[in-house]
Structure 1
C-alpha cells in the first residue's frame, strides 16, 4: 500500500475576518444547512476511490462556529464515505470565544482527537492590531477547557513579526505558550497579502512592516526558545513536543505533513485544494456557486493541473527542504531517475561548508541557519537542476 491520504474539509464561516487573513471565509451562517448538504454531495464523488485515510482536518474559516449537530453530521458522513484507519488523526480548528466546554466535550466524544487553537498572541494589544475577536484571557481559558474535556493533543497557532515587535514582546508570548504545555506549536510570520486590510494599512503607512534582518532575529529567538523548552523543530514554522517519543508517540501534525511529503489528499468545500498525484485540482471559491453546482449533480472543481515530472521534482525539493527530515536521496533517485547529489555537487558542497545544510545517511536537510534563507537555497538548487533538465527528462 502507498502513502495514506488526508481529508481536508473547509468550513468557511467566520464571525469576523482578521486583518491579515486571505483565506476564503464569510460571516453569513444562514447557509450552514445547505452548505452541510452540499459537502455530503461532494463526498459522494470521491467515496469510490481506493484511498485509505489516516487524517481528517476541519479547517476554515472557523469550523467551531457551526452548530454541533451539523459538525457531527459532517464527521459521521465522512467516516461512512471514506476508509479511515483506526488510529486516524482528526483535527478541528477552533478560535477562543467560539467554543464552550460542552461543545469541546461533544467534539471529543465524536472522535475528534486533536484541537488546533488560533491563539496568535497572549497580548491584548497585539490581538486588537491583528483584528482578532478574543482576548488573551479567553485564549488561556480555551486551552484549560480543552484539557478538562479530555484532549491530549492540542496545537496552538502564533503569529510573529508584528509591527514594532521586539525580543521582549516575543518572549512574553512564548513563555505564556509553553506554560500551557501544548503538544504542537505553529509560528507564522505575519505576511501582508494583497487584498487584506493589513496590506492596505501598510500601503497607507498606517503600519510599518519589520525588515528582513529584524524578522530573522525574531525567528532565531523563537527557534532557540522552543527547542530549549522541549520542542522539536520539524518544519520551518512548526514545532512538536518530544517528551513522549520514548513511548512511541509523535505530536507532529500527521495531516499537514502530507502537504510537505507529496502524499495524496482530498479537499472538500469552497476553495479547497486536492492532490492525487500527479494531478492537483481546486474548487470554486464562492459558497453559493459551490452549493449550486453540487445541487446540479456536478463536481465543484474550478480548475486542475497535471504536474510534469519536472514540476514534481521541483516540489519534492522545495517541500522536502521545509522539513527537518529533508530530502531522502534514495526515494528521490528511484522516483525521478536523478542523482541529486551529483547534479548539485558544487552548490551543495558550498552550502554545506557555510553551514546551511547537511548531507548525512542518505538525507539532505537544512540547518537552522539554512531554514532562515530556505527560499534562496531552493532557487540556487533549482538553477543547477535546470542545467541538466534535457538528460533528466530522458531518464524519467
Structure 2
C-alpha cells in the first residue's frame, strides 16, 4: 500500500514520500494520533495549555475536527496509539465520543492492539460514564488528580475535590479499566516533602498502574504566574525541587515502579504510556485540533492557537496550520539527545551513529567523560543512559 499518493503535499508546502516516512518510522514504530479537545469547565490557575471554558462551541468544533480529519487522513498510513487530550476531553458526552471515534475509524487505520487514551477530570466521571466509553474502545485513562489535598487543589484552581479524585480511581477500576494513570504535581507553595511523601504512600496503597509526577511550572501569563510576580507567594528554590525529584524517584522505584522518563513511572513495561513514549523516541505523530502539533520525522507543524480561527479556516476547506519548520540535521541531533536523556533507556549509540553518520562517543568524548565521572551518565550494553541525578539535570545534558 502506498502511504502517500504521488505529489501529495503536507502542511507548509513540503513534499513527503514513503521513503522518508519509513526512515522516520522504523519497523515496529508506527506514528501516533493526538486530538486536542480545547474545552474546560473552568480554567486552572497554572494552566498554559490552549483551552476555552464553556460547552457552547463543542458541536461546531466537532464538525470542524471531522473536516480536518478528511484533510489529514493521508499524512500517515496507520496508527497504533490514539491520545485524546486537552483541555478536558471528558467534558464530551459518551454519544459525542462515540461519534468522534466512528469518524476516526472511518478515515484512519488503527492496529488491532492500538492504545486509546482519554484524559479525564475527576469531577466529570462516574462508573456509568466510564463503562460507556470503555465499550467504545477506549482502553486507557489518564486521570487529572494533581493532588489528594483539598488545600492544594484550591491553590491550583482545580474544580474537583480530593474525595472526587479518589472516587475517580475507584470508578475506573469498577468500570473495568486496568490500564490507567494519574497526574500529580509537586513543588507547590505550602506543600512540604513530608506531605508529598504521604501522597505517594497513598498512591502505593491504591496500586496506581501509571503515575506522572510533574514539577509545578509557573507561566507568566497565567493567574498563578501573575500572583507570583506580585509577591503573593514564593516558589521553592532549585535545591528543594531537586530534593523533591530525587526522593520521589527513589521512593517509587523502591516500591517497584519503573522511572522510565523524567516525570513518568509505570508498574511494569506493559503500563508505560505507548503514545507519550513516541514523543521521547522521536517517532512521528499527527496532531488534530487547535494548537495541536505534528511531526513527520523531519518537519514539525502547529495548528492555530485559536478556536475561532480554527473553525473559520476549516469552514473554508483550509488546513488550520499556523507554523511549519523543517528541522536541520543539527536540530534533529540535539532533539534526539534532549529527548533521549529524559528517559531511562537513554541513547542507543549504534542507532544514533546509523541515523546521523557519526559516532557520538568519539565526537563528544571530551564532554561525556566528565558527566560519566560525575555520575550523571552511564554506559550499559551500548546505551548512553542518564542516572537518577542525570535525569534531574536532563535539560542540560543535551548541550554537550
2:206 aligned with 1:187: no
1:155 aligns with 2:181: yes
Instruction: From 268, 276, 282, give the equivalent of 1:262.
Output: 282
- Structure 2: which 5+ runs fail to align? 1-21
2:380 matches 1:360 = yes
From 302, 321, 324, the equivalent of 1:301 is 321
What is the CA deviation profile of residues 26-62 of structure 1, one whole-angstrom value per residue up to 9, with x for unaligned ones?
1121111111111111011122234221000000110
1:126 aligns with 2:126: no
What runs of 5+ residues in structure 1 fail to find an aligned partner? Answer: 382-396
Structure 1 residue 272 corresponds to structure 2 residue 292: yes
Shift of 1:180: 1.4
Report the equivalent of 2:96.
Answer: 70
Partners of 1:158 and 1:6 lie apart in 2 by 24
* Residue 258 of structure 2 corresponds to residue 232 of structure 1: yes
Matches within 5 A, 1:329-368: 329-368=349-388
Q: Is the 8 A contact 1:164 1:210 kept in 2?
A: no
Query: Match for residue 16 of structure 1?
Result: 42
Tell me the TM-score normalised to structure 2 length.
0.92
Instruction: Quote how far apart the aligned CAs of 1:353 are.
Output: 1.3
- Distance, in Å, in 1 between the alignment partners of 2:253 and 2:91 is 34
Per the alignment, do residues 50 and 220 of structure 1 end up closer, same or farther by CA in structure 2, a change over 3 Å counting? closer
Partner of 2:8: none
What's 1:80 paired with? 106
Q: Are 1:115 and 2:141 matched, yes or no?
A: yes
**Are residues 1:287 and 2:283 paired?**
no
Partner of 1:57: 83
The corresponding residue for 2:330 is 310
- 1:253-286 deviations in Å (ceiling 9; x for gaps): 0000011111110000000000012110010111
Q: Please name the residue that 1:136 is paired with.
A: 162
Of residues 220, 225, 243, the one that matches 2:246 is: 220
- Residue from 259, 267, 289 that aligns with 1:241: 267
Query: What SS is found at the alignment partner of 2:235?
Result: coil
**How does 1:369-384 map onto structure 2 within 5 Å?**
369-379=389-399, 381=400
Q: What secondary structure is seen at the aligned counterpart in 1 of 2:211?
A: strand
Say which SS state the counterpart of residue 9 (structure 1) adopts: strand
Question: Equivalent residue of 1:115, what SS?
Answer: strand
What RMSD in Å do the two structures reach over aligned CA positions? Answer: 1.0
Which contiguous aligned blocks of 4+ residues in structure 1 show a shift greater than 4 angstroms?
none
Partner Cα separation in structure 2 for residue 51 and residue 259 of structure 1: 18
Indicate yes or no: 2:46 matched with 1:26: no
Distance 2:214 2:289 in 1: 24
Who is 2:121 aligned against?
A: 95
Q: Secondary structure at the match of 2:39?
A: coil
Cα distance in 1 between the residues matched to 2:63 and 2:255: 45
Counterpart contact for 2:338–2:397, Cα < 8 Å: no
Three-state SS of the structure 2 residue aligned to 1:54 is strand
The answer for the alignment partner of 1:4 in structure 2 is 30
Contact 2:139/2:179, CA 8 A, preserved across alignment: yes
- Whole-angstrom distance in 2 between the partners of 1:49 and 1:375: 31
8 A Cα contact 1:273 1:283, kept in partner:
yes
| Bigger mean CA deviation after superposition, 315-324 or 39-48 | 39-48
Q: Deviations over 1:215-271 (max 9, x none)?
A: 0111111111111111000000000002xx5xxxx1110000011111110000000
| 1:171-207 CA distance string (max 9 Å, x none) | 1111112221111100000011120111111111111
Specify the SS of the correspondent of 1:355. Answer: coil
